[in-house]
Amino acid sequence: MAVPVVLDVDTGVDDACALLLAALHPGLELRAVTCVGGNAPVDAVVTNTLTVLDAAGRDDVVVARGAERPLLEDPVDARHVHGQDGMGDLDWPSSQRRPDPRHAVEVLRDVLLDAAARGGDDLVTLVPLAPLTNIALLLRTYPDVARGLREIVFMGGSAYVGNATASAEFNVFHDPEAAAVVLDACADLGIAVTMYGLDVFYAPLVTRARAAELVASGGHGAPELAGRLITFACDRFGADTATIGDAGAVCAVLAPEGVQREQLPVRVELAGTWSRGRTIVDRRDWTGDLSHDPHGRARSTIDVCLGIDAERYARLWLDTVSGRTS
Ligand code: RIB
Ligand code: CA
């Protein structure tokens, strides 16, 4: 039984790697993709997302445009990392498809309420790979969608390191209020959450050589696009390997035993001058006496990925995008 999934993306080079995996792997049923401003402005994200799905032969997948900007934070992007078009400036033929006329939040509501009506194995795993603005709007506007959710596996945050700042990971830093709302709403609604953060994000690597083999397949197909994306990332950082990034969170849905998780209390820092957007992962032993702590235990306890079988996930991605997994 393929696992029903919905991806929320800010396509982006590594979001594109994740979309290829979700679109091509037979163990997943990609029900919809929703777009949010993040790595690039939301309209570029929509175009990039449609283009990737076309390359994967999946023009059947609903794509919807969502939030243009964070709930409160000023919008910034990461085109210094992902290129001016947000997806590696590959000169790849853009999709001519139009997005769904509904807003992303409406598409998410419709897909999740439909899944709730069907129940059973039909519950959806929601995989946010971007700032959590759409997801925060969804859960506060239509809390009933929780009935259609199996779990949320999101790429964001970290227990130890930052990338956007010394302290915070980009997706959470981009919209800290949204991240805080999502954790709070999931605690309210009893939605299981897995955080695929920077502690594991950089580990699954693909070499420049393997990327070149993918590019050689040509024909503007999925393998060539996958290879071009990895090659761009290698070039961008002057390295011989590149992470599959967001695609690792999709691997965690396909092969959950490939990550080591710990159930831990997590908060989002909203006020810190130097720490705004940090996910504060509490690894203290709460069986002891922490009554002296004025903050108390965070409301949200989620599964935090702290270890990963990186080679397995890199191989899973490579086998899928190269067509060896069918
Ligand atoms: O911090 C990494 C995250 O920020 C990834 O989702 C990447 O695509 C960017 O959105
Ligand atoms: Ca992303």
pLDDT tens profile 300-326: 999 999 999 999 999 999 999 999 875
Residues in the chain predicted with pLDDT less than 50, given as ranges, are: none
Predicted confidence at residue 123, as pLDDT, reads 97
Contact 8/249 with Cβ under 8 angstroms? no
The closest of 206, 205, 182 to 194, measured between CA atoms, is: 182
- Counting ligands in written order, the one closest to the CA of 155 is 1
Mutate which of 21, 155, 202 for ligand 1? The one with the most ligand atoms within 8 Å of its CB, which is 155
Q: Let me know how long the chain is.
A: 326
Distances (CA, A) of 143 to 194, 241, 252: 19, 41, 25
Q: Residues 49, 203, 90, 83: what is their CA dihedral angle, to the nearest 10 degrees?
A: 90
Predicted confidence at residue 29, as pLDDT, reads 98
Predicted confidence at residue 21, as pLDDT, reads 98
Q: Is the CB of 258 under 6 A from ligand 1?
A: no
pLDDT tens digit sequence for 45-68: 999 999 999 999 999 999 999 999
In the CATH scheme, what architecture does the domain 3-321 have? Answer: Alpha-Beta Complex (3.90)
Both tokens of residue 187? 């605690």
